[in-house]
Amino acid sequence: MHRVWAEIDTASVRHNLRAIRARAPGAKVMAVLKANAYGHGAVEMARLLVGQGIDHLGVGDSGEALELRDAGITAPILIVGGIIPGEMPRVVENGIEVNLHTVQMASELNAEAQRQGRTVRVHLKIDTGMGRLGMQPFEAVPFLHSLRSLRNLELVGLCTHFSSPYEENPAFTQRQIEYFNLAVEVADRLGYGGLSLHASSSLAIWNHPLAHFNLVRTGIALWGLLPGGEEGWEQALKPVLALKSRILFLKDVPEGTPIGYNRTYYTPAPMRIATLPVGYNDGYRTSLSNRAQVSLRGRRCPVVGRVSMDYTTIDVGHVPDAAVGDEVTLFGDGISLYEVATWAEAIPYEVLCGLGRRVAREYI
């Protein structure tokens, strides 16, 4: 029996993958498992998705890639972020694909691959408007010429990243697509054929079909979510994760009782307070204090007082049969993650990625 746990519906993951494939017919799918698969458990989700015939896995850094390799995952893995020289030996040794961002990075990676007598599969990232990682489009032309001299690198992909595919005005994203198409054309003219071309994130899969190319990247949509709760997606996707705890302690208190640190809440009348063994160390944020609601026996109960490291207090006076040990849902089962993110002044990504080490994962 757990004090706090994430209940993960594997059938919903499979459903969401089918929906993504249906939305981008003809394109392969890369499942992005950054940040412990957005809190869902990277190794477990990788195994599930490989069993569903996923084409590619994406991770944020070398540590995440090596975790999957160490767990026996043999599927193609791309580090969608950057790597530094000290990470290169194990990346090369384990056959992990790398996104290239600079000429220096390519040269250092080639030298390490040469030292090991291996060839590294690489993707070239084009910065079309995100302004973070990747080469400017004009830099890609001389780089593609010089790449031929780096004999231990094999260019297998070309990619970019959209900064704002959720905007109502699609002009900026369309411009990014145009810039990326120019880079694709240059690569093709230089004889780089058969490349994996990928630009679409989860939202772009639905909103920008011209950006599907032959490979789409999906992270948050696999877990049944999108930024802003896009209208229409709710019918296509199913939420995967519910965060739950249980009542640890019940107490009847008189009117005027202060609850929690800094006395941010005083009971306005005699009240029954339940203490839950979940707090900000588990990812249930302090910003939810005196704002959020949870579900107990099918009824909503307000969070009262400040959420602390280990505990959260709720008002259960209107649930007369509440008892120690009762299961409480913090989100899922009627408490939307979008609601929780709004109460926390965050985005759903942050809430999921913030789930702590003490949160047990149960796969159903």
Residues 273-297, mean pLDDT to the nearest whole number:
97
C-beta atoms surrounding 255 within 10 Å: 10
Question: pLDDT averaged over the chain?
Answer: 93
Task: Kindly give the residue spans of alpha helices, DSSP state H, lying in 190-345.
Answer: 202-207, 233-236, 337-343
Question: What does the pLDDT read at residue 135?
Answer: 86
Q: Decide if 261 is catalytic.
A: yes
Query: End of a domain among 172, 203, 226?
Result: 226
On whether both 299 and 348 belong to a single domain, the answer is yes
Residues 206 and 325 in one domain: no
**Strand 4-8 to strand 241-246: parallel, antiparallel, or no bridges (unpaired)?**
antiparallel
Give the per-residue SS3 of 56-78: EEEECCHHHHHHHHHCCCCCCEE
- Is 255 in the same domain as 219? no
Lowest mean pLDDT segment, chosen from 8-17, 22-31, 86-95, 158-167: 158-167
269 and 121 co-located in one domain: no
Same domain membership, residue 150 and residue 51: yes
Q: Which of 28, 125, 251, 261 is catalytic?
A: 261
* Domain stop point among 226, 257, 286: 226
Asked if 294 and 336 touch (Cβ cutoff 8 Å), the reply is: no
Residue 50: inside a domain: yes
Report pLDDT for 333: 82
Q: Is residue 3 part of a domain?
A: no
Quote the pLDDT of residue 228.
Answer: 53
Lowest mean pLDDT among 53-62, 126-135, 190-199, 294-303: 126-135
Structure tokens at 194: 């058969």
pLDDT band, very low/low/confident/very high, at 137 (cuts 50, 70, 90): confident
**Would you say residue 122 has pLDDT above 80?**
yes
* Cα atoms found within 13 Å of the Cα of residue 181, Cβ hemisphere only: 10
pLDDT of amino acid 300 = 97
Claim to verify: residue 219 and residue 306 sit in the same structural domain: no
pLDDT cut 90: percent of the chain above it: 78
For 52-94, how does the pLDDT look when each residue is reduced to its tens digit (9 = 90+)? 999 999 999 999 999 999 999 999 999 999 898 899 999 999 9
Rg of the chain in Å (alpha carbons): 24
CATH number of the domain within which 307 lies: 2.40.37.10
Known catalytic membership, residue 34 = yes
Same-domain status, 173 and 279: no
Number of structural domains found in the chain = 2
Any domain includes 232: no
Mean pLDDT over residues 347-359, rounded? 92
Query: Does 181 lie in the same domain as 38?
Result: yes
Tell me the C-alpha distance between 102 and 125, whole Å.
9
E strands, 225-303, in order: 241-246, 249-253, 258-259, 265-266, 271-276, 293-296, 299-302
- Name the CA dihedral angle for 10, 12, 14, 20, rounded to a multiple of 10 degrees: -150
Name every residue whose Cβ is closer than 8 Å to that of residue 199 and which is 6 or more positions away in sequence. Answer: 159, 160, 161, 162, 176, 177, 180, 211, 213
91-104 confidence digits (pLDDT tens) = 999 999 999 998 99
**What CATH code is carried by the domain that includes residue 85?**
3.20.20.10
Range of 166's domain? 10-226
Helical H segments across the chain, by residue range:
10-23, 34-38, 42-51, 62-70, 88-93, 103-116, 137-146, 171-189, 202-207, 233-236, 337-343, 348-353
Single pTM value for the model: 0.91
- pLDDT tens column, 220-273: 999 998 765 545 556 789 999 999 999 999 999 999 999 999 999 999 999 999
Q: Which residue of the set 34, 38, 311, 349 is catalytic?
A: 34
